[in-house]
């Protein structure tokens, strides 16, 4: 199965469907990442704060898959924002992952109360120039945070990774991203299982029409909306289900019905208010 690749604004390409490792326990990470690689995933979304970079790195290395066939993201944690601390955090993440470079490095949250994200972004520019990250971007950034970065630096983030699922479709941020040439990545693409997404009639109807599961319909909705996503599962069967989404296509009517689920229903923190 070939996952489509999307071109980023710096000319690099990212596989549109990957695998996320948030809340994957350290002791299970090697097994789970190995399963994901065997299923066919080549794009992994990690973060320093997930506490499992070393185990992700071990599984990638043990697979023997050439580095240039893998796409690895990690993220700068909030308490490491700043000039020296961001430089050190990148080096520590590379060391834990056992890699010379990551494909994508993100500022995890803006933390506007700290007001260090522009300073940190300038370090990410340096990190890219030094070849330690092929692409750089942000996560959980709202328009004012992005505007500050655009005004104070020379680089438009390649991606903004934001909470995004049918009940929280983030139309305004997606439109602003499109204006800037910045790709959108969805976190919590399945709503993190925190609401009864899969009972939505639009999803059940489309699933029945195509002989697939509601989860596969949600993933397809993201893909056909041009969004990059990396659903997480500890179960190899669900990993395979989530990857088996290239044999059907939602109709325009089905896409419209799923778009109508949007009701501004967040399952995670509001980036304007987050202080963790």
Instruction: Please list the active-site residues.
Output: 50
Query: Is 120 a residue that touches ligand NDP (CB under 6 A)?
Result: no
Using the rule CB under 6 A, give the single segment among 146-154, 170-178, 229-237, 245-253 that binds ligand NDP. 229-237
From 78, 140, 155, 160, residue interacting with ligand NDP (rule: CB under 6 A): 140
Within 8 A by CB and 6+ apart from 254, the residues are: 202, 205, 206, 209, 217
Least Å distance, CB 125 to ligand NDP, is 20
From 187, 217, 220, 228, residue interacting with ligand NDP (rule: CB under 6 A): 187
Query: Is 191 a residue that touches ligand NDP (CB under 6 A)?
Result: yes
Q: Strands 183-187, 228-229: parallel, antiparallel or unpaired by DSSP?
A: parallel
Query: Is 230 a residue that touches ligand NDP (CB under 6 A)?
Result: yes
Question: Which of 81/151 has CB closer to ligand NDP?
Answer: 81
The stretches of 225-269 forming alpha helices (DSSP H) are 236-243, 252-259
From 34, 192, 224, 259, residue interacting with ligand NDP (rule: CB under 6 A): 192
User: Residue 233 in contact with residue 243, Cβ under 8 Å?
Assistant: no
From 16, 120, 161, 257, residue interacting with ligand NDP (rule: CB under 6 A): 161
Question: Which of 22/101 has CB closer to ligand NDP?
Answer: 22
Least Å distance, CB 68 to ligand NDP, is 22
Q: How far out from the chain centre does Cα 191 lie?
A: 13
- The long-range contacts involving 151-154, CB below 8 angstroms and separated by at least 24 positions, are 152/118, 152/121, 152/122, 153/118, 153/121, 153/122, 153/125, 154/125
* Cβ-closest position to ligand NDP: 20
Within 8 A by CB and 6+ apart from 32, the residues are: 21, 24, 234
| Secondary structure string (H, E, C) spanning 22-48 | CCCCHHHHHHHHHHHHHHCCCEEECCH
Query: Is 242 a residue that touches ligand NDP (CB under 6 A)?
Result: yes
Nearest to 157 by CA among 200, 197, 115, 128: 128
From 39, 232, 245, 257, residue interacting with ligand NDP (rule: CB under 6 A): 232
Question: Which of 127/197 has CB closer to ligand NDP?
Answer: 197
Interface with ligand NDP (CB under 6 A): 20-22, 45, 108, 139-140, 161, 187-193, 215, 230-235, 238, 241-242
């Amino acid at each position: 199965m070939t996952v489509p690749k999307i071109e980023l604004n710096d000319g690099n390409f990212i596989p549109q469907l990957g695998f996320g490792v948030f809340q994957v326990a350290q002791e299970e990470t090697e097994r789970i990442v190995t399963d994901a690689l065997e299923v066919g995933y080549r794009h992994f979304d990690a973060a320093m704060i997930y506490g499992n970079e070393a185990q992700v790195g071990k599984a990638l290395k043990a697979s023997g898959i050439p580095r240039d066939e893998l796409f690895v993201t990690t993220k700068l944690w909030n308490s490491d924002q700043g000039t020296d601390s961001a430089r050190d955090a990148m080096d520590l993440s590379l060391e834990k992952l056992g890699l010379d470079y990551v494909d994508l490095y993100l500022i995890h949250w803006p933390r506007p109360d700290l007001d260090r994200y522009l300073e940190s972004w300038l370090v990410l520019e340096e990190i890219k120039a030094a070849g330690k990250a092929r692409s750089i971007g942000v996560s959980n950034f709202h328009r004012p945070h992005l505007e500050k970065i655009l005004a104070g630096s020379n680089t438009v983030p390649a991606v903004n990774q934001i909470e995004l699922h049918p009940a929280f479709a983030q139309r305004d941020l997606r439109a602003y991203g499109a204006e800037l040439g910045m790709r959108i990545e969805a976190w919590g693409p399945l709503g993190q299982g925190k609401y009864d997404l899969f009972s939505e009639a639009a999803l059940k109807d489309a699933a029945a029409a195509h002989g697939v599961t509601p989860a596969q319909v949600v993933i397809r909705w993201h893909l056909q909306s041009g969004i990059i996503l990396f659903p997480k599962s500890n179960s190899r069967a669900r990993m395979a289900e989530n990857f088996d989404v290239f044999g059907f296509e939602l109709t325009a009517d089905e896409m419209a019905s799923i778009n109508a689920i949007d009701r501004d229903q967040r399952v995670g923190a509001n980036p304007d208010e987050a202080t963790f």
